[in-house]
Chains A and B, each alone.
Chain A
Amino acid sequence: MLAIELTGITKRFPGVVANDDINLEVAEGEIHAICGENGAGKSTLMKILYGMQPPDSGTIRIQGEEVELHSPAQAIELGIGMVHQHFMLADQFTVLENVILGAEPMRSLGRIDFDAGREHLDEVGRAYGLDINADDLVESLEVGERQRVEIIKVLYRGAEILILDEPTAVLVPQEVDELFRNIRELKASGATILFIDHKLDEVLEIADTITVLRQGRTVGTVKPDQVTAHDLAEMMIGSELPVPDAGESTVTEEVALELSGLRVAAEGDRAVVDDVSLSVHRGEIVGIAGVEGNGQAELVNAIIGIQDPDQGTITLLGRDITHVSVRHRREMGLGYVPQDRHRDGLLLGFTLWENAALGHQTEAPYSRGPWLSRPGMRGRANRIKDEFDVRTPNIEVSAHALSGGNQQKLILGREMVAGPAVLIANHPTRGIDVGAQAAVWDDIREARSRGLATLLVSADLDELIGLSDTIVVMLRGRLVARLDPNDITPRDLGAYMTGAALEAGAP
């Protein structure tokens, strides 16, 4: 029996066909992954299935019944629940209050029956093997736990078909394992799960069936044991898969960025970056590996100047910049690609040409003395658009109109055309599609051959091994190992990141 059957779904938006004759069959009780690049039409398809947008044509069958969905409420009634990528929880409420919010069991006189709610919550938790304390405040929960609350919220409303929209995007590796354990429990209890993702290893690990979308069309449906991650990626982008590959070494003797004895303390004087010494040469890419939360973020903040180190020095091109302002560092040739584009990299409501100047507004050609140069800003923006293949109708649109990959290309282009001596690339390809990822790699490699010194922080081990000339491992604030990417596998690197390899007595 099919839990979901979509036939010939087409959805057009002005100027673009988001879904073009899509067919999808999801069997009851399976974990079905939908893969595709950003902009392939995954989100649109899920919105149609969840009743948020009506399709222009095509039919939807749920448990064999043909239905027309007009609202999420109706979808919920049919047993479809959606867990959004961005959580919709009230921080100041407890887990129980969040779960029953909008579906409160009532007693007489409009009072909420918390006991009944708690009982039902416990039942749901037991039935699906989801462990959570109903009385915890949501604000005290970890990201993974919050996600579990979102899932329980959906199950509480009687959902049997769960749509998870890029659930792993916000999680650290350990939490992903926990999520997958939960998903398997859900499946064992009879739920059907639609799982949207573009991290291929994860998809292969968790899914029973995989459907790949590309440019609004269904490319194919496969079983994970028949394909490799490589095959899937090629299906997604429709051509040969790019691999990160550093090529010939271009490392020079000249030190561009030097950290010595750097210490950054968190509240309570606990060192989050502890005695870090490191040098990056011109033409070199130094990769920093580590499980997130081991001090990489604070290290990067100290280098770009938004967090003051307690001890140690930072030297850029031979000049001590430890206590120099952010702006001055940027002017001296420090480029930065942030991890969180929306928070740290863009002015979403501003035009592309204004965004092209952000961080470099004091430099030519963006300005002359105290005056902005609009022709200079527009000229640079057009150059970035052309050279870095930012797909946009023009540079007058605002940054939020672009897809994630194009936003990232804009940011990378902005930093690259400024001709930096040192680039800090903080998870430069996180959350962008394979095509854009390859473009970012190419650009970094190309700049490296022209003498750029790059500090690459990444959670993508293939990226680290493929791009870096040297890899250092960061664990609990310290650099604990220095490795040659030519003779290390992702598996070994993972062992260093968790500290297992160190205990075994490796260098």
Chain B
Amino acid sequence: MTERLTHRLMLASAAPVAAVVIAVVLSSIVLLISGSNPLAAYADMVQHASKLETQVDILNRATPLYLSGVAAAIGFRMNLFNIGVEGQYLLAFIVAAHLGAQVELASVLHVAFILVVAMAVGGAFSGAAGVLKVTRGVNEVISTIMLNAVVISGLAAWWIVEWQAGGEISATGGRVGTEPIAESGLLPDINSWLEVFTREVGLGKKLTGMMLVAVAVGVVYHVILNRTVFGFDLRSSGANPTASHVGGVSPKRMVVIAMTLSGMVAGLVGMTELMNTGYYPSNPISLLGFTGIAVALLGRNHPAGVAVAALIFGFLDVSSGILQISGAASREIVEIMKGVIILTAVIAYEVVRRIREREEAAAAAAAMAAGPAEAS
């Protein structure tokens, strides 16, 4: 029994470990070809990451990536490819920034209001793609890509001008953006939580309070997906819509719900920045939505797996800075590593899946042969 359990655990961990090892080997080859010393580059990256301040950076980067990854994962679980996380979070970001600046509320309510607005906007925008799919048969990949364009070069570009703050920000900080949200609408950093375990965080680094929201989203995602009837409906409908339909789950309904939930989580992606700075800038952090797809893929849509993937991507993103500074390697190596990890992970997962499938089939065949031979 324990032997079988160990075997299963080994199989489960084999894929990600193999993916990382192969990615390191391939990246080393690329580094060697480009004339850098891979060991020196890795040493710089690891040494940099061992600092508390860098770890705060990694967590701050991993937080929106995780939310984005979960948003994509919800879609994947329903066999939907929500490429629109990018547009959904930017739209939610700018609307929440604008509306958040218009109201005055007590601290907790103000933050909650902004987060709810962001989720509502993301959910509605993504849900629209779901409605298009079930009523008009529009493939969600097409519709969400086009809705991305509607946001990025349309609505957001228009509203940033429309909702442009007066002289205040640009005068003091030289920044352009929406009117700033009052202090009551911002999430405080959680450095003090971290410092319970560590020394004081220096360099003015602030660990985002959105990390707690992201953890909560992960927990809720896990519980809903695996422990509720609704989650079972969602997973079964994603895996086999016709069998699930016969079993009482309307596939159309699940498509709309899954797209909406995906968009709601997507709406939170931009909140890491908003809760810190208080306004939507002319150049918000972008591409988080697309990276989230890769994070979900690497994390196998699993709540904990996506977290690990977000941390790996956060680490790599933060490392690119130090590589540039130390000169050990070109910072672009980080992008190559990301790509290679994804590629090897996908292949390794598939190999493990096939091994497991074959073992199961053999075991079932053995059980059949061992069973009673008489027919009646």
Residues of chain B with a CB closer than 8 A to A15's CB: 362-363, 365-366
> Does B359 lie within 8 Å of A359, measured CB to CB?
no
B284 within 8 A of A: no
Residues of chain B with a CB closer than 8 A to A238's CB: 373
Q: A3-11, A147-155, A323-331, A490-498: which lies at the B interface?
A: A323-331
> Does B246 lie within 8 Å of A401, measured CB to CB?
no
Q: How far is the CB of A97 from chain B (nearest CB, A)?
A: 27
Residues of chain A with a CB closer than 8 A to B242's CB: 343-344
Q: Residue on A with the closest CB to B360?
A: A401
Residues of chain B with a CB closer than 8 A to A331's CB: 248
> Does B363 lie within 8 Å of A439, measured CB to CB?
no
Tell me the complex Cα distance, A8–B268, Å: 66
Please provide the chain B residues from 330 to 347 with a CB less than 8 Å away from any CB of chain A in the complex.
Answer: none
> Does B371 lie within 8 Å of A391, measured CB to CB?
yes
Of B226, B228, B367, the contact of A393 (CB 8 Å cutoff): B367
Q: Residue on B with the closest CB to A16?
A: B365
Residues of chain A with a CB closer than 8 A to B368's CB: 16, 39, 391-392, 403, 406
Of A16, A18, A346, A354, the contact of B232 (CB 8 Å cutoff): A354
Tell me the complex Cα distance, A319–B360, Å: 44
Residues of chain B with a CB closer than 8 A to A371's CB: 227-229
> Does A346 lie within 8 Å of B361, measured CB to CB?
no
0/1 interface trace, chain A 393-412, chain B, CB 8 Å (1 if under): 10001101111001000000
A348 within 8 A of B: yes
A379 within 8 A of B: no
Residues of chain A with a CB closer than 8 A to B372's CB: 389
Q: What does DSSP make chain B's interface, helix, strand, loop or mixed?
A: helix
A350 within 8 A of B: yes
B196 within 8 A of A: no
Tell me the complex Cα distance, A354–B240, Å: 13
> Does B229 lie within 8 Å of A370, measured CB to CB?
yes
Of A17, A372, A389, A400, the contact of B371 (CB 8 Å cutoff): A389
> Does B232 lie within 8 Å of A357, measured CB to CB?
yes
> Does A398 lie within 8 Å of B250, measured CB to CB?
no
Please provide the chain A residues from 336 to 374 with a CB less than 8 Å away from any CB of chain B in the complex.
Answer: 336, 338, 343-350, 354, 357-362, 367, 370-372
Of A343, A357, A397, the contact of B363 (CB 8 Å cutoff): A397
0/1 interface trace, chain B 351-376, chain A, CB 8 Å (1 if under): 00000010111111111110111111
Residues of chain B with a CB closer than 8 A to A403's CB: 364-365, 368
Q: With contacts A14-B359, A439-B376 known, is A348 near B240, CB below 8 A?
A: yes
A215 within 8 A of B: yes
Q: Residue on A with the closest CB to B369?
A: A16
A435 within 8 A of B: yes
A242 within 8 A of B: yes
> Does A306 lie within 8 Å of B246, measured CB to CB?
yes
Of B230, B232, B375, the contact of A435 (CB 8 Å cutoff): B375
Most chain A CB within 10 A, of B240, B244, B250, B375, is at: B375
Residues of chain B with a CB closer than 8 A to A345's CB: 243, 246
> Does B364 lie within 8 Å of A391, measured CB to CB?
yes
> Does B375 lie within 8 Å of A242, measured CB to CB?
yes
A438 within 8 A of B: yes
Most chain A CB within 10 A, of B233, B244, B359, B368, is at: B368
Residues of chain B with a CB closer than 8 A to A406's CB: 364, 368
Residues of chain B with a CB closer than 8 A to A391's CB: 364, 367-368, 371
Residues of chain A with a CB closer than 8 A to B365's CB: 13, 15-16, 18, 39, 403
Of A325, A358, A389, the contact of B244 (CB 8 Å cutoff): A358
> Does B243 lie within 8 Å of A343, measured CB to CB?
yes
Residues of chain A with a CB closer than 8 A to B249's CB: 326-327
> Does A393 lie within 8 Å of B364, measured CB to CB?
yes
Of A242, A326, A393, A434, the contact of B246 (CB 8 Å cutoff): A326
Of B363, B367, B369, the contact of A215 (CB 8 Å cutoff): B369
> Does B362 lie within 8 Å of A372, measured CB to CB?
no
Residues of chain A with a CB closer than 8 A to B362's CB: 13-16
B154 within 8 A of A: no
Q: Residue on A with the closest CB to B371?
A: A391
0/1 interface trace, chain B 296-328, chain A, CB 8 Å (1 if under): 000000000000000000000000000000000
> Does A372 lie within 8 Å of B231, measured CB to CB?
yes
Please provide the chain A residues from 424 to 453 with a CB less than 8 Å away from any CB of chain B in the complex.
Answer: 434-435, 438-439, 442
> Does A359 lie within 8 Å of B246, measured CB to CB?
yes
Residues of chain A with a CB closer than 8 A to B229's CB: 361-362, 367, 370-372
A464 within 8 A of B: no
Q: With contacts A16-B369, A393-B367 known, is A344 near B357, CB below 8 A?
A: no
Q: With contacts A370-B230, A393-B364 known, is A346 near B375, CB below 8 A?
A: no
Tell me the complex Cα distance, A14–B246, Å: 36
Of B232, B243, B360, B367, the contact of A361 (CB 8 Å cutoff): B232
Tell me the complex Cα distance, A367–B372, Å: 33
Residues of chain A with a CB closer than 8 A to B228's CB: 370-372
Tell me the complex Cα distance, A401–B367, Å: 11
A selection of 25 A-B contacts at a CB cut-off of 8 Å is: A13-B365, A16-B362, A239-B374, A325-B248, A326-B245, A331-B248, A338-B243, A346-B240, A347-B236, A350-B239, A358-B247, A359-B248, A361-B233, A361-B247, A362-B248, A370-B229, A371-B229, A372-B229, A391-B367, A391-B371, A392-B367, A398-B357, A400-B357, A406-B364, A439-B375
